A and B are shown apart, each in its own frame.
Chain A
Amino acid sequence: MTLDRRMRQAAESVRRYADAEVDPVAMLWRQRSRQRRRSLQTAAVALTLLAGLVAVAVLVARGPRQPEVIAPPPRPLGRVAATIALPQAAFPRVVGLVDGLVWVDGGDATAYRVDPQTNRVIGSLRLPAGSRLAAVARGSLWLANEAAGTVSQADPRTGRTLRTVSVGSVAAGPDPHEEQFGVAVDGNTVWVARLHTDVVRLDWAGGKVAGRFTIGLPGSSSYDVIAAGSGVAVTHGEPNDADQLDPRTGAATAIRLGGDPAGAAFGAGSFWVSAQNFTLARIDPASRRMVATIRLDANHLPGAVVVGDGAVWVFAGGGLLQRIDLVSSQVVHTLAVGPDGVDSGRLAVGAGSVWLSDAEARTLIRIDTGG
């Protein structure tokens, strides 16, 4: 028996099971029962609220109470502060903040500026054809053009291209929104992770390719994660590994995570890599070792990571934002964001908020970090 044969047999077994178990009459009856029960639950909640209001009214009528000495309130929890519509964007993805403005790639060769003071879109920049906003850093916009195989630096005020460096084009996949290039900027070095090809290190001042890294056999790795800091970068190498790329030695050091990396960021002197085994790894770039493993919510697959406002933030599928304290390396707060189905591949932090984007609903969501 081969795996393929077992797969076909198991699929046929499920089909037979489904055909036998699905009973339309019984299901309709159960659906109506559920609706009735929900009505009863709603009524019960309303009655409880009413009873609470009566109790509060009675207490107020009795007059002021002696003040109690209580512990100071815990750090306020974050909340969804604003949901900003981006109806004009084809597939919005938040990228980051420059000069106090939030930048969103529209998925249609347009970048949008959002003012945190007003929570409004205050302008847009038309990008060169085929380009998308891949990163913001050093007060600049960083554009990726996968078809042309280039990375460009642009002025956020005028949109003028300041420099373009060629890294080599890649064949586009059928999904036009798939990011074939990941871009991370570390001082004068720009790292470009080409999804199924390699990781390219650019000497930006020199305007040239300074090195290329591949891990494992050609085509065996998906370089779908990239973060840079302290002169090195971290990417996704072999399954269940993160790899630290060191330009001084030209070597990639595998760091065993126990699950495929899903997101990465650099901050507070460390790399932070979320993995599909529901953990966040803290990697010390100097020792190239994992110095902490933080267990994340086990019901939501973690994804995007960002560091800022004194914390690490991890967004997980289904709409769960988790806040990890930089000192204790522990999850100190989780917040359910939006209805089920919100899935932000990117996060940004700044202006006292965490920002994420819901590409399907074409919205930018702002979450207060609670000071």
Chain B
Amino acid sequence: MREFASVFGLAYALSGSRWAAEDIAQDAFVVAHRQWGRIGAYDDPGAWVRRVAANLAVSGVRRRLAEARALVRLAAHQQQQPYAALPSEDGDFWRAVRRLPRRQAQVVALLALGELSTAEVASMLGCSQRMVQVHLQKARVALAERLDLPLDEEADR
């Protein structure tokens, strides 16, 4: 369950939709289940699932389909339960992340949420560690500008 919450969180950060995130996380685990013969042999099957979820979450079509399915579901069952949202400034941060190019957004989300190293993210995304660093650097510069925040820790002291 802990793994599911982690994948759900990643999908939520990248898609911006609670409903889409739930569907994306479910889809990622269903795919993993179907291909378990191959994925189960990996050192870290969880990383594979996070990669699938990260790819699904940045695909606009998939995200919209997942959201549409979830909203239909919601309407059909007339759920009235209110759902919480992120604090506004955290929501603003993830909105800015979602406006980044796809790879940059994935790198930021995986590094921030997964508490992973750049080597682990590189392995997960199938690119070099150097490319992860390039994406991260570009993303940090863009985010600092959009959110009007200083980049370095020194400025905070």
Where the two chains meet, the residues of A that have a C-beta atom closer than 8 Å to any C-beta of B are: 1-11, 13-15, 17-22, 24, 27, 30-31, 33-34, 37, 173-175, 177-178, 196, 222, 239, 259-260, 276, 298-301, 317-318, 340-341
Given contacts A6-B89, A17-B84, are A175 and B12 in contact (CB under 8 A)?
no
- B93 near A7 with CB under 8 A, answer yes
- Whether, in the assembled complex, B68 has its beta carbon less than 8 Å from a beta carbon of chain A, the answer is no
Report how far A340 CA is from B140 CA in the complex, Å: 29
- A317 near B113 with CB under 8 A, answer no
User: With a CB–CB cut-off of 8 A, which chain B residues contact A340?
Assistant: 56, 59, 62
User: With a CB–CB cut-off of 8 A, which chain A residues contact B138?
Assistant: 239
> Top 8 A-B pairs ranked by shortest CB distance?
A173-B128, A18-B9, A299-B60, A10-B93, A13-B90, A11-B112, A10-B90, A2-B156
User: With a CB–CB cut-off of 8 A, which chain A residues contact B76?
Assistant: 33, 37
- A3 near B5 with CB under 8 A, answer no
User: With a CB–CB cut-off of 8 A, which chain A residues contact B156?
Assistant: 1-2, 5
- B5 near A33 with CB under 8 A, answer no
Report how far A259 CA is from B123 CA in the complex, Å: 25
Given contacts A3-B143, A27-B26, are A175 and B127 in contact (CB under 8 A)?
yes
CB distance from A300 to the nearest CB of B (A): 7
Report how far A179 CA is from B26 CA in the complex, Å: 34
- B61 near A6 with CB under 8 A, answer no
Q: With CB as the reference atom, state the residue of chain A lying closest to B86.
A: A13
Report how far A20 CA is from B86 CA in the complex, Å: 11
Given contacts A3-B144, A174-B128, A276-B101, are A17 and B61 in contact (CB under 8 A)?
no
- Whether, in the assembled complex, B134 has its beta carbon less than 8 Å from a beta carbon of chain A, the answer is yes
Report how far A13 CA is from B87 CA in the complex, Å: 8
Number of A-B contacts (CB under 8 A): 133
- Whether, in the assembled complex, B47 has its beta carbon less than 8 Å from a beta carbon of chain A, the answer is no
- B84 near A21 with CB under 8 A, answer yes
Report how far A8 CA is from B112 CA in the complex, Å: 7
Bits for B135-155, please: 1 = Cβ < 8 Å to A, else 0.
000101001100101111101
- A3 near B59 with CB under 8 A, answer no
CB distance from B138 to the nearest CB of A (A): 6
Interchain CB contact (< 8 A) of B73 among A18, A33, A318, A341: A33
A-facing residues in B22-66 (Cβ within 8 Å): 22, 26, 55-56, 59-62, 64
- A33 near B77 with CB under 8 A, answer yes
Q: With CB as the reference atom, state the residue of chain B lying closest to A359.
A: B126
Given contacts A3-B140, A21-B83, are A301 and B102 in contact (CB under 8 A)?
yes
- A3 near B87 with CB under 8 A, answer no
User: With a CB–CB cut-off of 8 A, which chain B residues contact A196?
Assistant: 130
Interchain CB contact (< 8 A) of B147 among A6, A19, A30, A260: A6
Q: With CB as the reference atom, state the residue of chain A lying closest to B151.
A: A3
Report how far A27 CA is from B8 CA in the complex, Å: 12
- B69 near A15 with CB under 8 A, answer no
Interchain CB contact (< 8 A) of A318 among B5, B26, B59: B59
- B8 near A22 with CB under 8 A, answer yes
CB distance from A198 to the nearest CB of B (A): 15
Interchain CB contact (< 8 A) of A174 among B59, B119, B147, B150: B119
- Whether, in the assembled complex, B20 has its beta carbon less than 8 Å from a beta carbon of chain A, the answer is no
Q: With CB as the reference atom, state the residue of chain A lying closest to B52.
A: A341
Would you mind naming 7 contact pairs between A and B with Cβ atoms under 8 Å apart? Answer: A9-B90, A18-B6, A24-B1, A33-B76, A173-B130, A174-B119, A341-B55
- B113 near A298 with CB under 8 A, answer no
Report how far A357 CA is from B60 CA in the complex, Å: 23
Interchain CB contact (< 8 A) of B127 among A13, A17, A178: A178
Report how far A232 CA is from B134 CA in the complex, Å: 27
Report how far A273 CA is from B135 CA in the complex, Å: 20
Given contacts A21-B84, A34-B69, are A14 and B94 in contact (CB under 8 A)?
yes
Given contacts A13-B86, A21-B8, are A300 and B128 in contact (CB under 8 A)?
no
Given contacts A7-B93, A27-B26, are A14 and B55 in contact (CB under 8 A)?
no
- B8 near A300 with CB under 8 A, answer no
Q: With CB as the reference atom, state the residue of chain A lying closest to B30.
A: A31
User: With a CB–CB cut-off of 8 A, which chain B residues contact A175?
Assistant: 122, 126-128
User: With a CB–CB cut-off of 8 A, which chain B residues contact A318?
Assistant: 59, 61-62
Report how far A14 CA is from B131 CA in the complex, Å: 26
Report how far A2 CA is from B149 CA in the complex, Å: 6
CB distance from B65 to the nearest CB of A (A): 10
- A1 near B149 with CB under 8 A, answer yes
- B4 near A22 with CB under 8 A, answer yes
Interchain CB contact (< 8 A) of A18 among B5, B60, B61: B5
Report how far A200 CA is from B22 CA in the complex, Å: 48
User: With a CB–CB cut-off of 8 A, which chain B residues contact A2?
Assistant: 149-153, 155-156
- A260 near B101 with CB under 8 A, answer yes
